[in-house]
Amino acid sequence: MGLHILVINSGSSSIKFSLIEVNTQKTIISGLAEKLGLEKAILHTKYNGETQTIDLEKNNHETAMQAILKTLGEKGLGKEITAVGHRVVHGGEYFSSSTIITPEVLKAIEKCVPYAPLHNPANLIGITGALQAVPELPQVAVFDTAFHQSLPQHAYLYAVPMEWYKEHGVRRYGFHGISYRFVMQEAAKSLQIPLENSAFVCAHLGNGASITAILNGKSVDTSMGFTPLEGLVMGTRSGDLDPALIGYLSDVLKKDAHEIVDMLNKKSGLLGLSGLSNDMRELEAASAKGDEHAKMAIEIFVFRLAKYIAAMSVSLPRVDALIFTGGIGENSASLRKKVLERLAVLGYFVDEAANNETTRGKSGLISNQQSKKAIVINTNEELMIAMDTAALVKS
């Protein structure tokens, strides 16, 4: 019997889970407990092609974890679990790789709560819930930030007083590291180049979006910063802007700095610009029907992304390939085309047919013969977490 890893991604109002058979890379069962903390929490489960939804008795994370494990037990899958792998958003400077969870590890994750006040507490609840429910199983933490601990100082320090870094941990941490690690390995395989001698610019474009320069399998620069707010235009996040705006907006809107930052996180980006949606699919549909705001939001997203691809290229001695991943990167041929058109100056040219065909789970080159390579790779963060967990448990 192969290793079966239960992957848990516990967020502020939801817990996603999947049970993965690592050798075959198959997902046996998966699901989502959502609306936790809200009125009616529910648990959706997908097993053998069927979806089931049940109401949860209480709307907290503990009840959801118990319900998930009960569901696995009822289907006879509980005994098959070898270990539990948890996604943890922030590992600060404590963790540069995945790790078996011990009391010391839990303390270090707690110390990172001020850096990720919404995410890390939810991740911790997922971990403690699992530790209570299945104390006999090894548990592993896999961090979003860990991959970027290889950033050189010139890339992670902000040009602010050094005490802020030394005393308050103010620096670029970077996120989406689990996805980047998976995607770079797949890209190296697909392009048949050794990962230890590779140079990629990789754009992870989902609801959150970021871009990373990866040299020989290590992150050397990335667009998200101290928090996931920095960098690209995202679904509801502004990405880069003049930090002086926070003082100005605080005065004119009569709101404190935290409220402004909240609006930059939740009411900005594609949603703020379009006034319509944070969802790229909806914006593309609206734009096709002539909605000027949707069109403009997409153009701004594309412009910022192209600018960042150029900037990230400077962090590398050469670029072997530009990689697109995440819901938008994997599916929106029209957005990728627009980005590559802006990048003609860097030698990228789209292969229209290949680009149009590469959607919905397909991966492959989308650049033409004359172009530098641009490739679409499907990410799989759950599988990456399962593989890390299996590797640590085996060793």
Q: From the annotation, which residues make up the binding site? A: 9, 16, 87, 204-208, 279-281, 327-331, 381
CA distance 23 to 20: 9
User: Which residues make up each annotated binding site for ATP?
Assistant: 16, 204-208, 279-281, 327-331
Residue 284 Cβ vs ligand ADP, minimum distance, rounded to whole Å: 6
DSSP state at residue 78: G
Element (H, E) at 325: strand 321-325
Q: Is 186 in the site for ligand ADP (CB under 6 A)?
A: no
Q: Is 12 in the site for ligand ADP (CB under 6 A)?
A: no
Rg of the chain (C-alpha set): 21
Question: Which residue number, 128 or 378, has a Cβ lying nearer to ligand ADP?
Answer: 378
- 27 closest CA partner among 13, 57, 7: 7
Residue 280 Cβ vs ligand ADP, minimum distance, rounded to whole Å: 4
Question: Which residue number, 80 or 279, has a Cβ lying nearer to ligand ADP?
Answer: 279
Residue 313 Cβ vs ligand ADP, minimum distance, rounded to whole Å: 24
Residue 283 Cβ vs ligand ADP, minimum distance, rounded to whole Å: 8
Look-up of token digits 């700095």 = 257
Give the per-residue contact string, 202-221, with ligand ADP (x = CB under 6 A; - = no).
Answer: ----xxx-------------
Options 331, 355, 363, 371; binder of ligand ADP; rule CB under 6 A:
331
Residue whose Cβ sits closest to ligand ADP: 327
CA distance 122 to 16: 12
How far the first Cα of the chain sits from its last, in Å, is 18
Options 225, 235, 239, 269; binder of ligand ADP; rule CB under 6 A:
235
Options 327, 342, 349, 373; binder of ligand ADP; rule CB under 6 A:
327
Contacts with 146 (C-beta within 8 Å, 6 or more apart), sequence order: 91, 95, 96, 97, 98, 177
Question: Could you give the maximum distance between any two Cα atoms of the chain, in Å?
Answer: 63
Region label for 50, one of left (φ > 0), alpha (ψ between -120 and 50) or beta (otherwise): beta
Q: How far is CA 164 from the centre of its chain?
A: 27
Q: Is 239 in the site for ligand ADP (CB under 6 A)?
A: no
Residue 290 Cβ vs ligand ADP, minimum distance, rounded to whole Å: 18
Cβ burial 153-186 (10 Å sphere, 16+ → b, else e): eebbeeeeeeeeeeeeebbbbbbbbbbbbbbbbb
Residue 279 Cβ vs ligand ADP, minimum distance, rounded to whole Å: 4
Of 140-148, 261-269, 274-282, 291-299, which segment contacts ligand ADP by CB under 6 A?
274-282
Question: Is 144 noted as a catalytic residue in this protein?
Answer: yes
Options 233, 238, 326, 385; binder of ligand ADP; rule CB under 6 A:
326
Q: Is 279 in the site for ligand ADP (CB under 6 A)?
A: yes
Q: Which of 144, 221, 320, 388 is catalytic?
A: 144
Look-up of token digits 């002539």 = 290
Element (H, E) at 219: strand 218-222
Indicate which residues carry an active-site annotation: 144
Residues that bind ligand ADP (CB under 6 A): 206-208, 235, 279-281, 284, 326-328, 331-332
